[in-house]
Chain A
Amino acid sequence: KAGVTQTPRYLIKTRGQQVTLSCSPISGHRSVSWYQQTPGQGLQFLFEYFSETQRNKGNFPGRFSGRQFSNSRSEMNVSTLELGDSALYLCASSSTGGRTEAFFGQGTRLTVV
């Protein structure tokens, strides 16, 4: 079956702009988590959605937001971009979240200039 699909793969944005990233989970998976990965901080948890509900949120400013649709696809939005937001953004899907294996997409590489 198809894996986790993230679009776009690469993005270049200017400071102050906003960006929306998309994640399509594996068919049948209802949990989608988002992570930010940088060389200095590693993988940092952003938020987790299950059946259109956010069940947990990491320690990121309110500029980072997300949502999940009825078909389990998820989007995350970053407003008022800062240089420090440059990172690889990964989404992971699992059947229930928590106790089950998570499958990662290839990520979206965001560069803020």
Chain B
Amino acid sequence: GQNIDQPTEMTATEGAIVQINCTYQTSGFNGLFWYQQHAGEAPTFLSYNVLDGLEEKGRFSSFLSRSKGYSYLLLKELQMKDSASYLCAPGSNDYKLSFGAGTTVTVRA
């Protein structure tokens, strides 16, 4: 089964750092995806972690701890365009990608 938990909302100031935490319990877990979804648009891929540790990609970094069922997405040097919903999505060996409810990040000037 799937149980995915992430905060509902976060607010931060332009230029600041935001960390979005996600905990999951996923049968047959095989990796953790993060997606970004702007209002009225389709989700777009941000990152994928298979192994424990930190993956850095520009202003965005993602961390995974498989033993703890825990991941976080770190957004640095926040920009107004980063205001969006961020979706944590554990993948599983049965080809199913389950999504958390999403964290709405609001960036204020």
A-chain residues with CB within 8 Å of residue B98 when the two chains form the complex: 45
A binding-site residues for B, Cβ under 8 Å: 31, 33, 35, 42-43, 45, 48, 50, 55-56, 58, 90, 92, 97-99, 101-107
Q: Which 4 A-B pairs have the closest CB atoms?
A: A104-B42, A43-B99, A42-B101, A97-B95
In the complex the two chains form, is A106's CB within 8 Å of B93's CB?
no
Are the CB atoms of A42 and B102 closer together than 8 Å? yes
Question: B64 at the A/B interface (Cβ < 8 Å)?
Answer: no
- Expressed in whole angstroms, the Cα–Cα distance for A97 and B92 within the complex equals 10
Q: Are A98 and B43 in contact (CB under 8 A)?
A: no
Q: A33 — which chain B residues lie within 8 A by C-beta?
A: 95, 97
Chain B proximity of A91: nearest CB distance (Å) = 10
Report the stretch among B13-21, B44-52, B75-83 that lies at the interface. Answer: B44-52
Could you tell me the distance between the alpha carbons of A45 and B1 in the complex, rounded to whole angstroms? 13
- Chain A hits for B91, CB < 8 A: 98-99
* A106 / chain B contacts, CB cutoff of 8 Å: 41-42
Residues A42 and B100 in contact, CB atoms below 8 Å apart: yes
CA A58 to CA B1, docked complex, whole Å = 11
B residues within 8 A CB of A58? 96
In the bound complex, residues from chain B placing their C-beta under 8 Å from that of A101 are 33, 45, 48
| Residue contact B42 to A107, C-beta cutoff 8 Å | yes
- Residues of B near A90 (CB, < 8 A) are 42-43
Q: Which chain A residue lies CB-closest to B4?
A: A42
**Residues in A neighbouring B100, C-beta threshold 8 A:** 42
Known contacts A42-B102, A43-B43, A90-B42: A48-B48 contact under CB 8 Å = no
Cβ 8 A contact of B87, one of A43, A56, A97, A98: A43
Q: Which of B44-92 contact A (CB under 8 A)?
A: 44-45, 48, 50, 87, 91-92
- CA A99 to CA B45, docked complex, whole Å: 13
Residues of A within 8 A of B96 (CB): 45, 48, 56, 58
A99 to B92, CA, bound (A): 8
Within the complex, what minimum Cβ distance (angstroms) separates A12 from chain B? 18
Q: Which residue of B lies closest to A49 (CB)?
A: B95
User: Nearest chain-A residue to B91 (Cβ)?
Assistant: A98
